[in-house]
Chains A and B, each alone.
Chain A
Amino acid sequence: MAEMTPEQLRLLRDVLQSACGFVLRDDLKFIAERRLAPRLEALGLRDFGTYQRYLRYDPRGKEELELAIDLLLPRETYFFREPAQLSTFVDEVIPRLAQDAVGRTLHVWSAGCSSGEEPYTLSMLMGDHPQLSGWDLDILGTDLSQKALSLARHAEYGPSALRSTTPEQRAKFFDAAEQGRVRVKPAYKARVRFGWLNLLDAAGARLLPSMDVIFCRNVLIYFDTETRRKVVQAFSERLREGGYLLLGHSENLFSLTTKFELVQLSGDLVYRKPRVD
């Protein structure tokens, strides 16, 4: 198996970083070698230096780069992940949103949604919320991987995606599919739509509607500071005043921006875009 030299690792990191902001750490060299080795074999390339040139110069380089990002970017996601934060969202954020909203429509953005488990989870939580009964819910999941989005639209999942769900949740939100898999019930699927968006694409983000809530959990941790700053700036532009930004439990905005206020709820800390009064 071809080994990646320190220079090749760094060049690959540069390519990935400029494409999607992902920082390939030094200690991920082994993983990168292993996951990309079948690609080298499939393309008939002898080493990672040649692979990096293929990414840049071959007519199919862009396609291959997307594949490489798919293989290397950690995309861990499953239904009802980080339940404490979701409880806070249901019990404390949703009531505030319901109170503040101008009409009876809520726009929610799951940024970096991978194969769709998070936006569907939000659909399940919001769709059954008593205070949102009769509301129009628009939940948007975006990701830069076309492959992940295709899985998300299909809405069919295996046991790994359900590892944090209870039997009651499985019965309520999913229909049985073949091979022990499940499919999101049509009612919960219907209010989720998907879009192909690189979070570095600020112009693309401007095409989205003004959001009431943005979920971006466990995505920023893989970016460098500058990319985080750009992404958070885009969130700030897309979020309405008084709207909420929910990050993963190990993420914060401390060194990134002053455009959000930190709000301590009884169950969690969340960010909110201040109102200009």
Chain B
Amino acid sequence: MMTWTQTDPAAEARYRALAELEPTTAHLTSLIEALFDESWRVRRLAADKLSAATTSDSLVEALLEVLSKRGETGARNAAATALAHLGPVGVRPLIGLLGHEDPDQRKFAADILGALGRVEAAPALVAALEDVDPNVRVAAAEALGKTGGPHARAALQALLSKDDPLLQVGALEALTALNAPPPLPQLVPLVQSPLTRRSAWRLIGRVRHRAAWVLVVQALRARGTRDAALLALGGATTALGADVENELSLALSGVDDAAAWLTRCLASDDLERRTGALHLVRAVRLPELASRVAEAAEGGALAQLSLSVLLSLGTPGLVALLEGPTPALLQMSREGRSVASEAIVENASPRFVAPLTALLGAGEDDLGEVAVRALGRCESTLAIAPLLRALDDDGVSAAASRALTHLAQTFPAEVKQALAERVKGPLRPHLVRAWANVAGAEALPVLRRAMHDEAEAVRAAGAQVAMVAGAEAATLLGMAVVDESTRVRRGAARAVAGLGPEQGRALLERLLGDREPSVAALAAGAAMECGATWAVPRLIELSGQADSGAVLAAVQALMVLGGADEATLARLAAHADAEVVKLVLQEGASSPAVVAQAVRALADARWDVRVAAAQALAVGAGAAQRAALQVAVDRETDALAHEALVRALEAVSAR
């Protein structure tokens, strides 16, 4: 037995000491020194801390200084990591570094500029493609794949004809990243070399020309090139089109072991290979591969493609999943099941009623709800009986209620008749919901019973669907509003908007004053929904309460109904709860008070608040806020927030 002890007490002590340091200017020297530590953990922590430090020219300068230390590989790498996270402030000095006499520093500069991905670095990187040092040239090519830029594509294409496989691979990968395939004649010679083959085939899949697919089809026919062709298919960024699929299908039709080969490819760890195989299955339409197609979603990245291919296999594919002594669906992984279930629900047909009913009784928790959802879409009266049984199962009763409602769109009389028998017995919440949805006004006697039921869940369900009772709805809701159960009053608050602002006023006023904040919050939503402008003073009052949920609902209603003055908006835009602030910024951008708060919120610690501030300024800002936006754009390191800020700046500039 061998043991490697990772424990180094001294390094651990330095690591812990560093972990205590805040990334402030006062600790800059210590953090820079830590980049030279012999422990990579300490170096990495120092780089992380420096990445989070306030960006300044002196910080960039200090990090560039570390890059210049030959022989200090660890420190240089750590400094490069920190620079790559500092954002646009480093772009100009790094462009300067591309002209340094030391090729290592030029390579670092190209790598970091690539990681920053700023388009303004592209011209300098294009120039670096002519560097005397081959490593710098390759790094510049790879970086251009991340920055893009007007001349990047032409410059990268020119590299493909150089007699330098490393540079060619760099250029191919960069063109793939930019989704900018060169003309086919430039790629064809590169599939011959083992060094460039993989990258070249991947790019061929992105060429939007019929000739590219002819190449792929030819390659599929031969055992030796079949796997390479799969990479082209895996790189395809758009749907292949019926004609291409036909040709792919023809190409594989002569292959004896096509199904076995595709089965192996669908289970491959290589994502591109799996992607290519999925495209091929869609072309050849082999329903027996349905479970393999669903399993290809493993890891999640290919779930969408898996589902679409599974759907393309049609009913035969889904039958292959559902039927048999032990249906394939029951034997699949959770990920595969999930994709297969989606396909079954989406393409449910009368043919599936029997296997879905069996699935409902299979004891598999996750598949029960799937079976119920699919039964609701089967368009068969035979689905009614299992769905009625499912109403008694607490795990799936809510889904069964929705499924019966869905089924009633096609078979209203049959579903109603079946439910009518059930509502003669004891009531259950989802039975009440289904009955109200299906029977409409005729549900009134049952709803009256529901409102007197001992179980609060049944009374709450009755209140929630009371609007189907027409003229009697107000009476039913009146009972619910004075119910001792919060759950029932919440049900009433959800439904009361249906009475309209005047008829429902007395009930809504009571609900808005409910001592339970969650009831008041739902009532605020109801006031908004029915346009109850008389409720504005109460909503303003509610917006000053402690409960954030109630405040948020009140603010939302105020924004829709209008009536909040500038002082109220200013107060709410500076609220302690970020969700309230975001909502006011999103909905109140035309108010000067909100615009002023948005400018302050550009410096908020939360990225989502900064995004909301940018969105507000995109709508409500003028020339006066332009400078603040520009500063925010320059210092922003969060990608989503940066994008929102750039859009806001463009909107303001164009105004």
Q: A41-B402, A274-B7 are in contact. Are A158 and B301 (CB under 8 A)?
A: no
Determine the distance from Cα of A28 to Cα of B402 in the docked complex, in whole angstroms. Answer: 27
* A258 with B333, Cβ < 8 A, contacts A58-B549, A264-B1 known: no
Q: How large is the interface on B (under 10, 10 to 19, 20 to 34, 35 or more residues)?
A: 35 or more
Q: Which residues on B sit within 8 Å (CB–CB) of A274?
A: 5, 7
List chain A positions with a Cβ less than 8 A from chain B.
6-7, 10-11, 25, 27-28, 30-31, 34-35, 38, 41-42, 44, 53, 56-59, 74-76, 147, 151, 156, 158-160, 163, 177-181, 253, 255, 257-265, 272, 274
Q: Which residues of A contact B611 (CB under 8 A)?
A: 7
Please state if A34 and B342 are interface contacts (CB–CB under 8 Å).
Answer: yes
Given A258-B12, A274-B7, A30-B304 contact (CB < 8 Å): yes
23 A/B residue pairs, CB under 8 Å, sorted by A: A7-B611, A7-B640, A27-B301, A30-B304, A34-B307, A34-B338, A44-B494, A56-B548, A56-B579, A74-B300, A76-B333, A76-B335, A147-B365, A158-B330, A159-B330, A163-B331, A179-B362, A180-B362, A181-B362, A258-B12, A262-B3, A262-B6, A264-B3
- Chain B, residues 1-38, CB within 8 Å of chain A (1/0): the string is 11111111001100000000000000000000000000
User: How far, in angstroms, from A156 to B362 measured CA to CA in the complex?
Assistant: 11
Q: Are A57 and B552 in contact (CB under 8 A)?
A: yes
Q: Judging by beta carbons under 8 Å apart, are A74 and B334 in contact?
A: yes
Q: Are B12 and A28 in contact (CB under 8 A)?
A: no
* In the complex, B361 has a CB within 8 A of chain A: yes
CB of B399 closer than 8 Å to a CB of A: yes
CB atoms of A159 and B579 under 8 A apart:
no
Residues of B within 8 A of A11 (CB): 608
Measured between C-beta atoms, what is the minimum distance from A34 to chain B in Å?
Answer: 6
A36 nearest CB across to chain B (Å): 12
In the bound complex, how far is the Cα of B334 from the Cα of A201, in angstroms? 27
A-B contact number at CB 8 A: 113
* Most B CB within 10 A of own CB, among A44, A159, A257, A259: A159
Asked whether B57 is an interface residue with its Cβ less than 8 Å from the other chain, the reply is: no
Q: Inside 8 A of A53's CB, which chain B residues have their CB? A: 552, 579
Residues of A with C-beta under 8 A to B640: 6-7, 10
Q: Is the CB of B334 within 8 A of A263?
A: no
Contacts of A262 in B (CB 8 A): 3-4, 6
Q: Is the CB of A158 within 8 A of B1?
A: no
Cα–Cα distance between A150 and B11 once the two chains are bound (Å):
45
List chain B residues, Cβ under 8 A from A41: 402
Answer whether A160 and B300 are a contact pair too, CB < 8 Å, given A57-B548, A262-B3.
no
Closest B residue to A43 by beta carbon equals: B398
Per the bound structure, the CA–CA distance linking A207 and B250 in Å amounts to: 64
Cβ-defined partner of B300 (8 Å) among A31, A179, A180, A253? A31
Closest 6 CB pairs of A and B: A57-B549, A30-B304, A27-B301, A264-B2, A28-B300, A159-B331
Say yes or no: is B364 at the interface (Cβ < 8 Å to chain A).
Answer: yes
B367 to chain A, nearest CB (A): 9
**Separation in Å of the A259 CB from the closest CB of chain B?**
7
CB-defined contacts of B399 to chain A, threshold 8 Å: 38, 42
Choose from A7, A31, A56, A160 the contact partner of B303 (Cβ within 8 Å).
A31
Chain B, Cβ-Cβ closest to A34: B342
